[in-house]
Amino acid sequence: MKSLSLIVSCYNSEDYVERCVNSLLLGGEEVEILLVDDGSNDRTPQIIDYYAHKFPGIVRAIHQANGGPGAAINAGLHAATGLYTKIVDSDDWLDATAYQQVLDFLRETNRQGEALDMIVSNYIYDRQGARHKKVMRYPTILPQGQVFGWQDVRFPAGKYLLMHAIIYRTSLLRDEAKLELPRHTFYVDNIYVFEPLPFVKKIYYLNVELYHYFIGRADQSVNEDVMLSRIDQQLKINRRLIIFYAENITDSSPVSQYMEKYVEIITTVSSILLVKGGTPRYLALKRDLWEFVRQYDESLYKQLRRGVFGIGVHLPGKLGRKTAVGAYHIAQRMYGFN
């Protein structure tokens, strides 16, 4: 069995997918690289077929009709044979030194017969043109050098785990969480991170800068203008998180508390985007979102609404909305996200 399956969703990625795959190939025979062509109409299919032909023991090419990043990740998960799985966006890449450290760790963990549920590492906001790159690290939040559980985790407000930081056990995703992402929808990485969390018992943190998260393309899905144009998809994901939380979380355990914070962050992002949009339609969508929370889980609504983020996105009038957006921009500079 391979130690690690790396799933790469590829849609019209001819300009950057080679950088991504070349970084992953440094894992050698210990990894499998699943390149999923999601109905590309440029040279992406030919590029990934070349890699599959050149490295038959490592790279597998999967071709499918366009179904969006969720469908591509689903296809990769169904085909994955590695003990652990990591998702890598086709415009991102892995650091060579940290990659080897992660693989060394997985090899030793496998030798000892230790089955972990989630491995966390650091990632870098690799903003195009920026001289100083923001690195997201967790040494003050997560224990080091030991297996731990949610009771040992202390995330401050505003900080949470993105997909770039996470490696999951493959069988947890497939057999326990039974994860299936929606088709033709962006921002599914939030579901990918969120829905398996109740099944995670054993966590390990490796304090290495593994993942380079490329930021700066005008057409990138996390560009604010692009997100606003796809706000229906952001809201669809947001509502699915709320529904999952309401239907599956019934206690106040540490993992439940973390998941509540995650829902709070995503709902805040949706709200700020709608506040920035500023039109009556966008402001009505924000009201609808919060009403959805209230109707689906009134206890969750009260928790979110009286928190600092809930108060901030409901500041009244134009001045209140301007203040909320300004606070969001300060958070952008602090955390380096787009």
Parallel, antiparallel, or unpaired for β 93-94 and 203-215? antiparallel
Question: pLDDT digit string (tens) for 84-105?
Answer: 999 999 999 999 999 999 999 9
- 130: phi then psi, degrees, rounded to nearest 5: -80, 135
Residues of the chain with pLDDT under 50: none
Q: Which two tokens stand for residue 291?
A: 């009403």
Quote the CA–CA distance of 139 and 137 in Å, as a whole number. 6
Question: pLDDT digit string (tens) for 44-88?
Answer: 999 999 999 999 999 999 999 999 999 999 999 999 999 999 999
Instruction: Return the number of other C-beta atoms located less than 10 Å from residue 144's C-beta.
Output: 11
Q: Are 87 and 163 in contact (CB under 8 A)?
A: yes
Instruction: Return the pLDDT at 1.
Output: 86
Quote the CA–CA distance of 17 and 35 in Å, as a whole number. 10
Region of 330 (left: φ > 0; alpha: ψ -120 to 50; beta: rest) is alpha
Instruction: Return the pLDDT at 328.
Output: 78
Instruction: Return the number of other C-beta atoms located less than 10 Å from residue 237's C-beta.
Output: 22
Instruction: Return the pLDDT at 292.
Output: 98
Classify residue 178 by burial, with Cβ atoms within 10 Å: 0-12, 13-18, 19+. Answer: exposed
Instruction: Return the pLDDT at 335.
Output: 56
Model pTM?
0.93
